[in-house]
Structure 1
Amino acid sequence: MNPGQWIAHLIIRGYQLTLSAFVGRQCRHWPSCSAYTDEAIQAHGLWAGGWMGFARICRCTPLGTSGIDLVPEALPPASAWYKPWTYGRWRGVNAPPAFACEAVEPDGDGASPPQGTPSGQP
């Protein structure tokens, strides 16, 4: 962690422990905007992570997005230091993939053997 990231972490942590209680914990996303910004700065550096956090805070409005929004693992392909707005996601969320569960249908009478085994063998 370089000095810029360390200072940003201390400022964000200070906000979380002091001002956040007075402002109210009403973030529309999980993780909160301050936690998201801190994680983005730690993962992508002060410049890129700071812009990601700024874009997230701009989306966290009454008419903005809500829900699970995770820090992306990689920077957007078109991002560059001289185009800082390209680091942030200005619409939508980065939600994890939906958990899918296959339903298992019962055999009915429970007497039929599993598929692939002959009827007479266990």
Structure 2
Amino acid sequence: MSPTRCVLWMIGRYRATGGGRRWFGIDCNFEPSCSAFTEEAIRRHGLVPGMRLGWDRIRRCNRHDAVCKCHEPVPDRATPGHSHLKRRERAR
């Protein structure tokens, strides 16, 4: 099994067994959920760029100041304009 298929399988198992609500007692503040976003990002952009987009999204999820679900689809391209790359450039 390829690494990409293995990661997608793990995401599928996480979602099938209840996701964040069951495992961590939390609900995602985004639509689609962080796991669905990460799965789609990996399918569109490949394993490493998709995981970066997913990780950036998960870090922003479940902040206490969020009041509603925000719609945030997967971007068409993983470009330097995305927040995870901007933070990396500022750190240099």
Does the 8 A contact of 2:41 with 2:74 survive in 1?
A: yes
Shift of the alpha carbon at 1:43? 0.6
Shift of the alpha carbon at 1:5? 1.6
TM-score, normalised relative to structure 1: 0.57
Cross-structure match for 2:79: 76
Cross-structure match for 1:22: 22
Structure 2 unaligned spans of 5+: 88-92
CA shift in 2, pair 1:10/1:63, >3 Å:
same
CA shift in 2, pair 1:87/1:16, >3 Å:
farther
Does the 8 A contact of 2:29 with 2:69 survive in 1?
A: yes
Q: 1:66-117, CA deviations, whole angstroms, 9 ceiling, x for partnerless residues?
A: 41000001121468xxxxx4189xxxxxxxxxxxxxxxxxxxxxxxxxxxxx
Equivalences, count: 82
Cross-structure match for 2:12: 13
Residues 38-77 of structure 1: pairs in structure 2 closer than 5 A: 38-60=39-61, 61-63=63-65, 66-77=69-80
Shift of the alpha carbon at 1:32? 0.1
Structure 1 counterpart SS, 2:52: helix
Does the 8 A contact of 1:37 with 1:52 survive in 2?
A: yes
Structure 2 counterpart SS, 1:74: coil
Structure 1 unaligned spans of 5+: 80-84, 89-122
Shift of the alpha carbon at 1:58? 0.4
Structure with greater Cα Rg: 1
Does the 8 A contact of 1:29 with 1:66 survive in 2?
A: yes
AA at the equivalent of 1:48: P
- Greater fraction of residues in helix: 2
